[in-house]
């Protein structure tokens, strides 16, 4: 067990200890060269680990009410926090942290530190991130973690602590794995994952987006139109009451959310990272200090801190390499995770921070500038971009009145059910794949780019 330092940075609170998985030990013969021949062992619990670290994350988002105002804690062991955000916590945010830690143990990851504001509690993990709102949670894990096994436990926690008889909406996604054979059996194929999810959510739907013989993206969705959830892995089906959809509230992944939140989420997944820029992601590159101090140095020297300069951040530089960050601004979050080793390099960036003094992601030019800013940090050869936009969510008037470069009429931009506009060209990259999906409750725009060397 590795003891983590107790000092805090950026308002983050650090855990007392975490497992050896956090150490990111490498087979490098010369750490001073800042280049390892094989990927680090952080993020895997498999005895047969081969040194090929799986950076691409599994992403699970579960909603238990249509918006934060509908989530009320009913459990008897509410977590009574003593920090400055205690009076703001409701719903799932009142679940004791020990309960969340036990759930995360099932996934094979541990909490490194926490960061909170009036809207969200974020947990920086040994393998990626966990975000808790009053009415929903977002769990993102890399390596050989067993994320889907946590779903029955999460459903149980929501019943016990929120009084939710089922999930209002479930969203699961991941990029194609680099090393699928290294995953635990459930996660070795998309077909196995879908079968497991179908057993829990009979009305769910699975999709593969992009070229099957190139980088592509898997998505699984259930609800909010579903009225039942199966407990075939833990009981019998239960009735899931429909939530009101009469408001103008929007979503992160197509489900109604508080009116103060962004209704767009952007995810940028990158491989083939620039080796020179990745030197900062090794201990001894941006900093000789592991943990929060090293993470802060990486933020500053890499340009990450310029993406959302007013956000509160919580980051970690691993030994001998690797970087993770959670950021909060208003009721939005962003998260970054980096595996810098050359033969399995990978970085992910995800955000739902939009408007309120920052770039408005309804505007395709704003999305273009975000993608360009992020790719300048990492210099990837291959880039996958996804944009989710809630349906029945009206674009801001300021954006609707702009003259769009692709010639879409202002009237369409003002429409409450307008699709996200086509991606503007990204400097330095060639678009190889562009797909628009129209689902019942949201739009999905997908693009795949290759660096134009």
In the numeric block, which tokens belong to residue 182? 């290294």
Give the catalytic positions in this structure.
Answer: 54, 57, 128, 142, 324, 337
Number of Cβ atoms within 10 Å of the Cβ of 209: 17
Contact between 352 and 265 (Cβ < 8 Å):
yes
User: Is the Cα torsion angle 232, 238, 244, 249 positive or negative in sign?
Assistant: negative
Q: Which contacts (CB < 8 Å, 24+ apart) does range 223-227 have?
A: 223/63, 223/167, 223/168, 223/169, 223/170, 223/255, 224/63, 224/66, 224/168, 224/169, 224/255, 224/256, 224/441, 225/440, 225/441, 226/201, 226/202, 227/203
Contact between 326 and 129 (Cβ < 8 Å):
yes
In the numeric block, which tokens belong to residue 257? 């959310």
Helix axis angle for 97-107 and 151-162, nearest 10°, is: 170
Contact between 438 and 419 (Cβ < 8 Å):
yes
How many Å apart are CA 298 and CA 303, to the nearest integer? 8
């Amino acid at each position: 067990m590795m003891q983590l330092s107790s000092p805090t940075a950026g308002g983050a609170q650090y855990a007392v200890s975490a497992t050896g998985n956090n150490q990111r030990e490498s087979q490098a013969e010369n750490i001073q060269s800042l280049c390892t021949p094989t990927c680090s062992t952080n993020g895997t619990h498999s005895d047969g680990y081969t040194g090929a670290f799986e950076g691409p994350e599994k992403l699970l988002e579960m909603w238990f009410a249509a918006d934060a105002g509908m989530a009320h804690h009913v459990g008897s062991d509410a977590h009574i926090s003593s920090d400055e955000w205690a009076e703001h916590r409701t719903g799932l945010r009142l679940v004791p942290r020990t309960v969340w830690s036990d759930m995360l143990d099932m996934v094979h990851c541990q909490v490194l530190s926490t960061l909170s504001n009036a809207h969200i509690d974020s947990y920086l993990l040994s393998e990626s991130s966990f975000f808790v709102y009053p009415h929903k949670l977002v769990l993102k894990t890399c390596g050989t973690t067993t994320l889907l096994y946590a779903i029955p436990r999460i459903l149980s926690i929501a019943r016990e602590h929120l009084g939710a008889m089922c999930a209002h909406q479930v969203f699961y996604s991941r990029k194609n794995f680099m090393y699928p054979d290294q995953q635990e059996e459930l996660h070795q194929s998309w077909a196995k994952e879908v079968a497991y999810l179908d057993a829990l959510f009979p009305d769910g739907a699975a999709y593969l987006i992009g070229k099957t013989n190139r980088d592509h993206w898997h998505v699984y969705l259930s609800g909010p139109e579903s009225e039942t959830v199966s407990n075939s892995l833990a009981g019998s089906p239960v009735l899931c009451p429909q939530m009101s959809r009469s408001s103008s509230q929007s979503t992160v992944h197509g489900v109604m959310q508080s009116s103060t939140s962004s209704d767009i989420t952007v995810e940028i997944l990158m491989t083939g990272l620039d080796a020179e820029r990745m030197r900062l992601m090794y201990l001894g590159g941006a900093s000789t200090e592991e943990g929060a101090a090293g993470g802060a140095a990486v933020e500053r020297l890499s340009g990450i801190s310029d993406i959302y300069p007013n956000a509160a951040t919580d980051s970690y530089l691993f030994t001998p390499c690797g970087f993770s960050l959670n950021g909060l601004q208003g009721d939005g979050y962003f998260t970054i995770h980096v595996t810098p080793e050359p033969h399995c390099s990978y970085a992910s960036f995800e955000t739902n921070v939009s408007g309120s003094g920052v770039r408005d992601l309804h505007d395709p030019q704003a999305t273009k500038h975000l993608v360009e800013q992020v790719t300048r940090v990492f210099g990837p050869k291959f880039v996958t971009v996804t944009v989710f936009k809630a349906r029945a969510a009206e674009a801001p008037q300021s954006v609707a009145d702009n003259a769009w470069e692709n010639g879409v009429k202002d009237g369409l931009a003002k429409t409450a059910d307008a699709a996200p506009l086509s991606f503007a060209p990204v400097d330095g990259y060639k678009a190889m794949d562009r797909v628009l999906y129209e689902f019942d409750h949201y739009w999905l725009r997908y693009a795949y780019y290759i660096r134009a060397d």
